[in-house]
Amino acid sequence: MDDTPVLDNHMHLDPAAGRGMAAVDDFAHLGGTHLLVVNKPSWHLGVESTDPEDFRSVFQTTIDIVADASERLPGRAWPVLGAHPGLISRLVEDRGCSPAEARDCMQGVLDIAAEYVESGDALALKSGRPHYEVDDAVWDVSNDVMKHAFELGADRDCAVQLHTEASEDLTEIAEWADERGLDPLHVVKHYASGRLAGPTPSVMCRKEWLKTVAENGDAFLMETDFVDDADRPGAVMGPKTVPRRVRWLREEGYDDAIETAHVETPRRVYGIDTRGTLGEPQTLG
């Protein structure tokens, strides 16, 4: 569309079960340039273990997919690795873990994800807490897992993407991050609406939400949460949506918001240079 970077802040890619690189091509053809690819929930990739070491295959799969995607983009992709908050219920209900054992497993999975950040193979961590009703014990250990992610983020100097309940006020969570030395700016609420107090919102591409966040002028990101699951084709937005919405924002005169979501906020939150990585030499024609 022009030389503006266009980043989808939260997408999944599954070449084995979904569209994989065809989805990346769709994104790029509409003007998409950069992607943050979040690992699929471990159980979708056949990992049903309680041993954190067994989750390395989930992370390695994501890193390999990101390498392939980067070859097809005018910019590049980066991996975001961690434990889906719904894992806690699978560990407790299906694997027979106590809440404390489930917490230890998930914190161990995050420790391994942080190793990939440390080595430069991943950009950020993914954590959060269930968006559905759980009992108090599971809720409490889920918060412990998230706090551990903040400690790792502070220690590795990386951002933490969160999957949480729908909310426009997560100031308590922002305080937990701050107390652990992680700037709440570096905490990103995935699947956000147009308003959020506390962390940085990664706003789903509904026009009314984008309009709200564009009007208020604060830091934000844009995402689709494309799941790339052939069994759930209409579950979320498709891979073309962020580039289409950027075009729409341009038509509506929100040029500053485009710069905020695709250049400034990515730089401030993740330390990535979306403009500087645009037009890197392609290894694939």
What does the binding site for Zn ion look like in residue numbers (CB under 5 A)?
225
Between residues 9 and 107, which has the closer beta carbon with respect to Zn ion?
Answer: 9
For residue 172, which amino acid is it?
Answer: E
Q: Least CB distance from residue 98 to Zn ion, whole Å?
A: 27
How far is Cα 199 from Cα 211, in angstroms, rounded to an integer? 19
Q: Least CB distance from residue 214 to Zn ion, whole Å?
A: 23
Between residues 116 and 226, which has the closer beta carbon with respect to Zn ion?
Answer: 226
For residue 109, which amino acid is it?
Answer: V
Between residues 104 and 225, which has the closer beta carbon with respect to Zn ion?
Answer: 225
Neighbour tally for 254: CB within 10 Å = 19
Between residues 14 and 225, which has the closer beta carbon with respect to Zn ion?
Answer: 225
Q: Least CB distance from residue 202 to Zn ion, whole Å?
A: 10
Between residues 174 and 236, which has the closer beta carbon with respect to Zn ion?
Answer: 236
The pair of structure tokens assigned to 264 is 């400034």
Q: Least CB distance from residue 277 to Zn ion, whole Å?
A: 23
Torsion of CA 129, 109, 21, 1, to 10 degrees: 50
Between residues 99 and 266, which has the closer beta carbon with respect to Zn ion?
Answer: 266
Question: What Å distances lie between residue 140 and 51, 136, 180, 193, 203, CA to CA?
Answer: 21, 6, 17, 25, 27
DSSP string, 93-125: IIS---HHHHHHHHHHHHHHHHHHHHTTS-SEE
Q: Least CB distance from residue 7 to Zn ion, whole Å?
A: 15
Between residues 13 and 258, which has the closer beta carbon with respect to Zn ion?
Answer: 13
Q: Least CB distance from residue 189 to Zn ion, whole Å?
A: 12
Beta strands 7-11 and 34-38 are parallel
Q: Which of 23, 5, 10, 6 is nearest to 244 (CA)?
A: 6
Comparing every residue's Cβ against Zn ion, the nearest one is: 225
Q: Can you point out the beta strands (E) in the chain?
A: 7-11, 34-38, 77-82, 124-128, 160-163, 187-192, 200-204, 221-223
Contacts (Cβ under 8 Å, ≥6 apart) of 196: 167, 168, 169, 170, 189
Q: Least CB distance from residue 84 to Zn ion, whole Å?
A: 8
